[in-house]
Amino acid sequence: MSKPSNIEVTNTEPESVDTGKNMKLILARAKDQRNFCPVRDVIHRISDKWSLLSILALGTYGTLRFNALKKEIGDVSQRMLTVTLRNLEEDGFVSRKIYAEVPPRVEYQLTEMGEGLMQQALRLADWANTQLPGIISSRENFKKN
């Protein structure tokens, strides 16, 4: 649990699925790390209601103050934006700079790791978009049965 000494998951070939014994290793590790799995961890972080939108907004504008970000996202509550940003900051995806002024000014921006996360999200978005028609028709088909 200390350090991930050897990474079994190294899908450099996006077209092919790892098969056979390698998959068993991956599965075994996934089960092992049930309570501390980096994948689930990252997914959990971006799967809440506002993280992705916050990351996308920061990626778009570079730097945003709290209320500018809030206005940009639109319908997020003040509380939830604070919680979201603190979590992202804690994990190192977002940096937070406080300027000692009155009234206070706080600026948020993506860290390098945060930009990496956004790229992962965009990738997933790309794939999801291509799959969308299939998902929708599958759902409609499911309803009928």
Partner DNA sequence: CAGTATCCCTACCGATACTG
Partner DNA sequence: CAGTATCGGTAGGGATACTG
Q: Applying CB under 8 A, which of residues 82, 108, 120, 144 lies at the interface with its own copies?
A: 120
Burial of 84 (0-12, 13-18, 19+ CB in 10 A): buried
Q: Determine if 143 is a binding residue for DNA (CB under 7 A).
A: no
Q: Determine if 124 is a binding residue for its own copies (CB under 8 A).
A: yes
Q: Which of residues 10-29 bind its own copies (CB under 8 A)?
A: 10-11, 14, 17-18, 23-24, 26-27
Choose the contact partner of 60 out of DNA, its own copies, none; CB within 5 to 8 A by kind.
its own copies
Mapped onto helix, strand or coil, the DSSP state of residue 70 is helix
Beta bridge partners of residue 97, listed in sequence order: 107
Q: Applying CB under 8 A, which of residues 85, 99, 134, 144 lies at the interface with its own copies?
A: 134
Question: The tokens of 65 are what?
Answer: 């103050």
Residues 6+ apart with CB under 8 A from 64: 57, 58, 72, 107, 108, 109
Contacting range for DNA; rule: CB under 7 A; set: 4-12, 16-24, 72-80, 135-143: 72-80
Separation of alpha carbons 126 and 115, rounded Å = 16
Which of 78, 136 has the CB closer to its own copies?
Answer: 136
Q: Applying CB under 7 A, which of residues 106, 111, 115, 121 lies at the interface with DNA?
A: 106
Q: Determine if 131 is a binding residue for its own copies (CB under 8 A).
A: yes
The helix/strand count (H/E) of the chain reads as 6, 3
Q: Which of residues 55-114 bind its own copies (CB under 8 A)?
A: 56-57, 59-60, 72-75, 89-92, 113
